[in-house]
Structure formats: structure tokens, C-alpha cells
Structure 1
Amino acid sequence: MGLVINLSALVANWKALAERAPAARPGAVVKADAYGLGAAKVAPALYGAGARDFFVAVASEGRALRPHLPEDARIFVLAGHMEGEDLTGLVPVLNSPAQFFRDRALRPKGAFGIQLDSGMNRLGFEPAEWAAIRAEAAAAGPALIMSHLACADEPDNAANAAQLAAFRAMTDGVDAPRALAATGGILLGPDFHFDLVRCGVGMYGADPFVGAQSVVGLSVPVIQTRDVAVGESVGYGYAWTAARPSKIATLAAGYADGLPRSLANKGLNFWAGDQAVPMIGRVSMDLITVDVTDLSEVPAELALLNERQSVDDLAALAGTIGYEILTSLGRRYPRVWV
């Protein structure tokens, strides 16, 4: 079956996040090929539900997406106006004075956005840089002025209030739509919502949006099964040794498919219907082994991501975050959008 992407659930999550910010225009973050789930399928589904503002990381992503959306959809490029980049049909989010003056030569051919650094120290104009060009930028009519929260997934972190105050100080009085909140910021409440919100990882069914519907299912084919006697070992480094007569299944997935090597010996289960089957040994590049001894019949494939085990569950076992699991799911999985 491979990787199944439930577009109806994804759209429902986008709508649920939008309902948390009813006064704001709901956008959608579709960078990294819609977090690995296929921007060419995801973005049109969201457009059909009412989304008109889409965010990608770099211009090449925007150019690939542009033919899949009608003209009234805006595609914002968060990396801004990089030298020599083709931005036709895209909206660069300018991050520095150099980008601002580079982009100025193109106006009024295309819209632009501005990103401000409200304390994350990653992208955007610093306060003094912004003060120097604020009047000119405001007069040119930016499509959006935005910033990004560093600790939005920690509601009690004092950095959230500090960044909110900094963003207000830099933008109050400027006649342009403002945006500060992605998924975590939406959940922080209306003070963070401003004019537009950027629905991101929660839309794809991952933390910190606890109420999200599951979007991704993943089943992996069984290549081969074998009987292993007591005392025999399996896989690289002989990291697992049979303590009982065992039946072992070898599955067609590995770290080249986005299943981190760190998952070894962490209690990861695959699923045959309602029955859990434990992964054993190491994760190799293309293969994983599981103990199917207790199954009365070994199916043709075993589930890894389903209603019992989410991307965040997998991430917790691997010592990472759901974003990394989603965006790493490999191209060798056949993808089905439903």
C-alpha cells in the first residue's frame, strides 16, 4: 500500500486551525514538498477548501508549485529575493536590506513581503535595519509583514510574549497585513493571530496540534520470512539473538526511506491489524527485520504509521520531532492520495 495521504483529513485540520483564528486569513505552509506529502496534490486540495496564501522555502519550490494553482493564489517565498532567482508569479519575503534593494528594481512588477527578526536571530530585518527602510517599504505596499516565533510550542515560554512585543513595536502604525503565528502561534491565542496565520505542521496531523486528525498512513511490504533457531542472530552486528525458536520477517524499508537508524532497540512496533510485532536488530539502509513469531499468518505488508502509531510517536522513539519524520519519508514509498 505504501504511503497513504488523507487529503480530507489534512483539509479538516487546516479548517480546524483556521477556526482557532477566525479574524485572520488562513494560509498554508507547503514547503519541503508539503512536508514530504506532495505539494502538487496538497496545495490544490487546500485551494479548493479556500486557502489562497501558500508558503514555500525557496523559489524553486514556488516555481514547481505555480502551475498547480490558479492565478489568485499567492505563493510566498520565505528565502526572499536571492540574486539571479526567477520569481515570476511568486511573492518574495524580503529578509535584509540587500534583498530589499535588489527587489526594488523589479517593482511594481510583483508583490513582495517583509520578514522581521523579532528575536529568533535567524531570518529577517533587525530592528535598526527595518527602521532605516520602514517608510520606503511601507510606501511600496508590502503584501505582508511577518515574523516567526522561536518557542511557540512552549506556551509558557517568556520568549513568546517578548517576540510579540517586539513585533508590535516594529509594525504598529504600518498599513500592511501582518503575520506572526504558524501552528504553535495559532494555538497561543488571538493576541498572536494578526491578519494572517500560517497553518503548518498541525495541518499535517502532528504536534503541537493535539486535536489533529491523522493524515499519514504507511505500510511496508514483507520481502521474506525465515525461521531462526535459539542462539542464532539477525542483521548487522548481530544486534539481536533469538531466545526462542522465532519467525523473522524482512521488510523493504530502512534509513534511506526516512526511518532513522536510531530506532533500533527502542521498542518500535509494526502492526498486523490490531496485533503489534516488534522490530528487532538494526535499521539498515534498505531493510528492517521484525519478529512475527506470534502471528498466525504473516501478511504481505505491515503497518508502521496508522491510528495506533503516529509520526510523533515514531519521532519520540527516534529522539527527534514529527517534522523530521514527515519530511524524511522516502521517495521509494509509492504514494496514494485519498
Structure 2
Amino acid sequence: MQLQKIFNTEAPNKSTRIIEGESSGILNWDDIRMPHMYKLYKVLLLNYWIADEIPMSKDAQQFPLLDSEEQRTFKINIGLLAVLDSMQTMFVGDVKRYFTDSSLEAVSAIIAQQEVVHNQSYSYVLSSLVSRQEQNEIFEYWKHDPVLLERNTFIADIYQEFRDNPCPQTFFKAMVADLILEGIFFYSTFAFFYNLARDQKMLGTSQMISYIQRDENQHCYFFAEVFKQLRADFPELNTQENADYVYATIDRAVQLETNWAYYTLSNVRGIDLSELSSYIKYMANMRLRLMGLDKAYVGVDTNPMPWIRPFSDEALNATKTDFFEGKSRNYGKVSEDNGFDDL
């Protein structure tokens, strides 16, 4: 695949294709191929946040009072999130280099910055709760746990294939992997933190998780739109083999996420694993719908875990506390007005 030229006087400002296309390299938001990307760009800017603004003093007091299983699961899942967002930071950087569309390259730059913030937030949480030595041990955990390693290498191998051999076909597969990582692989972990929150435990951490989920939902929207435009730009990718690949890969991801849920959450009070299994399939169907494809699973058309919504949506996001000034500060949030409330 060709890289976007920095400056091309022979090409139009509006790109001819999102990859392998022609573009001058000049970004004019009023002359872009996918005009709704400007709307997403503005939403992403409004969602700016930094982890240090979220006070962790109460979480630090509560953490030693969690039972041993909650503490263990908390640490394992923070470690998992750090691995996923580390991979994602590198992947977005890889994709950004090959966009021959300046608007998509610009949105990718903001998404990559948000992934870095997510990663910093996990270090921030752990540094508030455990010693430096234990924090380092948690960040090493993913290298040795076989269930976690299988789950992570499943995505890493697809990303690596694109890095090693960038072409429209590996780009197609990488878009599917992205929707899995950001749209399916976080969700049993999110459920764990929200389960603590509904018992009024670790609310600072759960608030941070809600911001991360909001970001990831919008990243899913972006990459799903890229996926759909890729299929339009490269109709030769619309084969039965590729359709089968999408559904088989997402089904394998659902299995891996469900296995992880049972592996880490079986002894956590308040989590119904049968409901959580259905919730993972529900999220997979949502991602397929976002990609413009038919659902894969029947019987999960509504959220099987509706108790999650107040923690993961605007109710928890409505205000943020200014860490330095000690007062509420409103941020721009997703709403019906900007059209991203269904993500």
C-alpha cells in the first residue's frame, strides 16, 4: 500500500479513496469525502479528559476493604486494559500512515491521543492503590497467563499481519480486529468495574472507565465507517470468503471474551455469568450493525444487563470534578443532538 504524500499539487483536496487514493494532503473540513467525519472530529474534541482530574483518595481508602477476589480481579483487569490500549495505540499509528484521506488521518490523530490517555489512566489508578513493585508485576501479568495471552495474541496476530504486509485485504481484516478489540474485548471488564460501582465501591475508577467506554464507542463508530467506505472503494473485497471471515472472527472473539469472563469473574459477587455471556453477544450484534452487516446472534436484541447503563452512559458522565479547583466542570457529552447516542 502507498503512503499518503505530504504534498501533492496534482491531486484534489478531497480524497479519491480512503486508502490507495489521491489527495493533495491539504485538509479543508468543508471539502472532505465523508462529511460526517467533521461531526465526529468535534465530538472527540469535546470529550477531552485527563486521568489526574479524577480524585482517587476514596478508592485508595476502599481498595484494602474489598474482598480478596475483588482485589485480585481488579488488578488483573486493569492489567488487561493496559495491554489492549497499548496495542491500540500502535495500531492506530499504523493505520494513520496509510490513509490517503486527510480528514481520516486527522481523526486518527485524536483517537491515538485518547488511547495514550487511557493507558496513562491505568498507571494512575494503580499508582494510587498499590506499591510500585506490585504495579510493575501487574503490568507483567499478561505475558504469562495462558488465557489472557491467547485472547491478546488473537488480535495482535491480525494487527501484525497488517503491519508486515499492508494491503487492502490485510487492512480489511485489521478493521474487523479493531471492532473486536474496542467493541467486544473490553466489555466483561467494564461490567466488573460497574458491578463494584453499583455497590458504591471504587467510584473514581468506575468514572474513569465510563470515560474510556465513551471514547471506545466513538472509536468503534469511526472504524466501522472506515470499514463500510473500504468496501465501497474496493468492491473486490466483498467476497463470500471475506463475509465468512467477519462472522467467524467475531464469533471466535465472543468465545474468547466469554472464556475470559468465566475465568476472571466466576467468584465475584453480583455478576450473573449467564447474563454476561448474553451481553457479550448483544455487543457483538451491535458492532455488526455498526459495520452495516446482519446480526450473528438471536435472542439478544435488548441489553441483557440493563443495570450497566446508568454507570456507562451520560448519568456517570454528566459532570467531572476539577481536581485542582474542587468544583464541578461540565464537558461536552454525547447526546441526541450530535447523533452518537446509540453507539
TM-score, length of structure 2 as denominator length: 0.25
Structure label with greater radius of gyration: 1
Between structures 1 and 2, the one with greater helix share: 2
